[in-house]
């Protein structure tokens, strides 16, 4: 169907990544239901630049939407710090209950105050450390390693708490950084580790599962405010429906990536998780000094 107005949405992931597929699904729904008045142009594979740029472009309205992780928003929207804290979510169920409930809606309000309409939260699994040197079993094994982290003060502090040196590089530079030895390792979920080809140089994947910061689909509030309420409803509804698709795709993709990486001979090991949680605990005090954030933390923890 020919589309009248194509909203441009940026995603750094490649065409077959679950987030991109979920956006394609959302675009189809939107076009069908608006009878061709609205659609999505999904600009994947970093076509619109790295995550930090797509966030800024969305904020100022130069881009309509961006699918990003919460961590690179930490500097801009303080409330996003809380769900980016390590060892916060007890399970995917705890995370979903938070995102789908009133506390998730409150986070969306905080994003709105900073110029973003949060249309949907997408799964991003659990992030673990991987590196080119040796298996990481306890925090001391990270000592002295240079580890790439997302561009967020929380992510930097996490690695510092373990005695490693954080390197906040954009996602697109990680594979080369690993290959050239600029960095020793990084941390991410299984699908990113595989699709961004980090496994080629970093062959030790250690199951710290320290962070479950979700992804989010942001729309520019500037663009949003120029739409009719009826079109806003259509967009919200299509985004809401893409979440179920995303969760199904994610669960399958996460397992498939883990299986294929294991079959390819990657060294996978379990860790002493309690020791990692303990080493990172001081981040809670440091990053939730603001009483509003402390309160948000308590309420996320209290979600069943
Ligand atoms: C991925 C996430 C991306 C990006 C990336 C990174 O898991 O989906 O949005 O934040 O990690 O490490 O930069």
Grouping H, G, I as helix, E, B as strand and the rest as coil, residue 209 is: strand
C-alpha 39 to ligand 1 mean position (Å): 25
Q: Are residues 60 and 198 in the same domain?
A: no
Q: Are residues 49 and 81 in the same domain?
A: yes
Q: What pLDDT score was predicted for residue 173?
A: 98
Q: Are residues 201 and 296 in the same domain?
A: yes
Query: Ligand 1 test: best mutation among 22, 191, 215, 216, most atoms within 8 Å of CB?
Result: 215
Across the range 259-268, mean pLDDT stands at 98
Write the CB contacts of 131 (distance below 8 Å, at least 6 apart in sequence). 145, 147, 184, 185, 186, 202, 204, 206
C-beta of 31 in contact with ligand 1 (< 6 A): no
CATH code for position 110? 3.40.190.170
Whether 1 has a pLDDT exceeding 80, the answer reads no
Q: Are residues 217 and 195 in the same domain?
A: no
- CA 91 centroid distance within chain: 16
The model's confidence at residue 9, banded by pLDDT at 50, 70 and 90, is very high
Residue 192, token pair as written in the block: 């990113």
Q: Are residues 82 and 182 in the same domain?
A: no
The two beta strands, 65-69 and 5-11, are parallel
d(CA 118, CA 66): 10
Grouping H, G, I as helix, E, B as strand and the rest as coil, residue 98 is: helix
Ligand 1 atom closest to Cα of residue 186: 12
| Residue 193 near residue 172 (C-beta atoms within 8 A) | no
Q: Are residues 207 and 223 in the same domain?
A: no
Q: What pLDDT score was predicted for residue 3?
A: 85
Shortest-distance Cα residue to atom 2 of ligand 1: 69
The model's confidence at residue 195, banded by pLDDT at 50, 70 and 90, is very high
The two beta strands, 204-211 and 267-270, are parallel
Per-residue pLDDT tens digits for 166-183: 999 999 999 999 999 999
Q: Are residues 62 and 105 in the same domain?
A: yes
Domain total for the chain?
A: 2
Distance set, CA 107 to CA 49, 75, 246 (Å): 26, 15, 20
C-alpha 11 to ligand 1 mean position (Å): 10
Q: Containing domain of residue 63, as a range?
A: 5-124+213-256
Q: What is the pTM of this model?
A: 0.97
Q: Dihedral, CA atoms, 289, 290, 293, 297, nearest 10 degrees?
A: 30
Per-residue pLDDT tens digits for 203-252: 999 999 999 999 999 999 999 999 999 999 999 999 999 999 999 999 99
Q: Are residues 206 and 293 in the same domain?
A: yes
């Amino acid at each position: 169907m020919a589309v009248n107005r194509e909203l441009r949405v940026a995603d750094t992931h490649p065409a077959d990544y679950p987030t991109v597929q979920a956006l394609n699904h959302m675009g189809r729904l939107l076009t069908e239901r608006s009878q061709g008045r609205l659609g999505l142009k999904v600009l994947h594979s970093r076509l619109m630049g790295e995550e930090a740029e797509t966030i800024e472009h969305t904020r100022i309205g130069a881009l309509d939407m961006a699918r990003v992780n919460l961590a690179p928003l930490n500097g801009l929207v303080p409330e996003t710090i809380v769900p980016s804290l390590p060892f916060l979510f007890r399970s995917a169920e705890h995370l979903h209950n938070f995102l789908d409930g009133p506390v998730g809606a409150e986070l969306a309000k905080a994003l709105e105050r900073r110029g973003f309409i949060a249309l949907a939260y997408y799964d991003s699994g659990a992030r673990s450390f991987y590196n080119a040197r040796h298996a990481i079993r306890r925090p001391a094994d990270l000592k002295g390693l240079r580890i790439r982290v997302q561009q967020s003060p929380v992510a930097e502090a996490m690695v510092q708490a373990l005695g490693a040196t954080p390197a906040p590089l954009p996602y697109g530079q990680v594979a080369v950084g690993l290959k050239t030895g600029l960095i020793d390792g990084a941390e991410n979920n299984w699908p990113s580790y595989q699709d961004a080809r980090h496994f080629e140089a970093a062959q030790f994947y250690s199951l710290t599962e320290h962070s479950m910061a979700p992804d989010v689909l942001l729309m520019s509030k500037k663009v949003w405010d120029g739409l009719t309420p009826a079109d806003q409803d259509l967009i919200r509804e299509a985004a809401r429906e893409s979440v179920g698709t995303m969760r199904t795709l994610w669960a399958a993709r996460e397992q498939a990536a883990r299986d294929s990486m294991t079959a390819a001979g990657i060294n996978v090991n379990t860790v002493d998780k309690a020791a990692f949680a303990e080493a990172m605990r001081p981040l809670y005090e440091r990053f939730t000094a603001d009483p509003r954030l402390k309160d948000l933390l308590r309420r996320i923890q209290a979600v069943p």
